[in-house]
Amino acid sequence: MSAISVGQAVVLGVVEGVTEFLPVSSTGHLKIAEGLMDIPVDDKSVVGFSAVIQVGAIAAVLVYFFKDIKRIVSAWFRGLGNREERYHHDYKFAWWVIAATVPIVAVGLAAKPLIDGPLASLWVVAGSLIVGSGVMWAADQMGRHKRGEDDTSFKDAMWVGCSQILALLFPGFSRSGATMSTALILDLDRVAATRLSFFLGIPALTGAGVYELKDALGAGVSAAPLAVGTIVSFVVAYASIAWLLKFVAKHSFNAFVIYRIVIGVTLLGLLGTGTLSS
């Protein structure tokens, strides 16, 4: 019997699609939803399922930013064969994304037993939601928001790329929250920080989904829930991306900070009273 039903896959697909690119922790919300539906959050197949349906959200990024991605990839291929093209920002940016993905891949492989085990606890999620809120608030206050996307450098990409490790080790911290906060500290404006977070998430999240696919299928999740969850995730994530880019152009991250604290404190209460199991 599948560890996750089709109905549960729909719910989890919606949660993934809404939260993957908002700085509120998709992993944290998935674990909370799984706990409320009595799905074991540290089960190998469930961990794999969560990683696989992220591919739907990543596909939404690929579609939404297709023109930008096509321009960057084209510049990269042109630069491989033409020395003059290597001075183009898009060519260099493609290499920066590749380089900035290496740290999270290395840590992900080395720390996988911890990530799938003790660090998958809902207590960790609750604490990370709250601590991450403080980091995000401080970053938004510290950042001068004076640099646009064309002003990004290799150093920016590496710092932001490495910050993804926080979310990998501490589910609830939020990959988007960590990357956006780091970009804000580096004085990028909110839109540039958000777009950089999107682009850096593509290889890391796609790789994680492909890597976990065998575990999800081989440990109790049938193909139907995986397909349904991934499709639902794609549709909802596309709408979420469009909304987020419009929101950050005119608003601070304070609403996300408050929301994360409320969710984190609520989760601590549910765990403390035994309503949810860690």
For residue 218, count other CB atoms closer than 10 A to its CB. 11
79 contacts 86 by C-beta, under 8 angstroms: yes
Arithmetic mean of pLDDT, 75-80: 94
Residue 161: closest CA among 112, 238, 103, 231: 103
Higher pLDDT, 49 or 16: 16
As to burial, measured by CB atoms within 10 angstroms (0-12 exposed, 13-18 middle, 19+ buried), residue 40 is: middle
Angstrom distance (rounded) from CA 30 to CA 263 = 13
Lowest mean pLDDT: which of 21-35, 108-122, 169-183, 201-215? 201-215
pLDDT tens, residue by residue, 129-158: 999 999 999 999 998 889 998 899 999 999
Residue 1 pLDDT: 41
Residue 241 pLDDT: 94
pLDDT tens, residue by residue, 223-248: 888 899 999 999 999 999 999 999 99
Residue 195: closest CA among 173, 180, 184: 180
* One-letter amino acid of 258: I
Residue 237: closest CA among 186, 269, 201: 201
Higher pLDDT, 192 or 52: 192
Angstrom distance (rounded) from CA 272 to CA 219 = 30
pLDDT, the chain, mean: 88
Residue 239 pLDDT: 96
| 94 pLDDT above the threshold of 90 | yes
| 271 pLDDT above the threshold of 80 | yes
Angstrom distance (rounded) from CA 157 to CA 161 = 6
Higher pLDDT, 208 or 14: 14
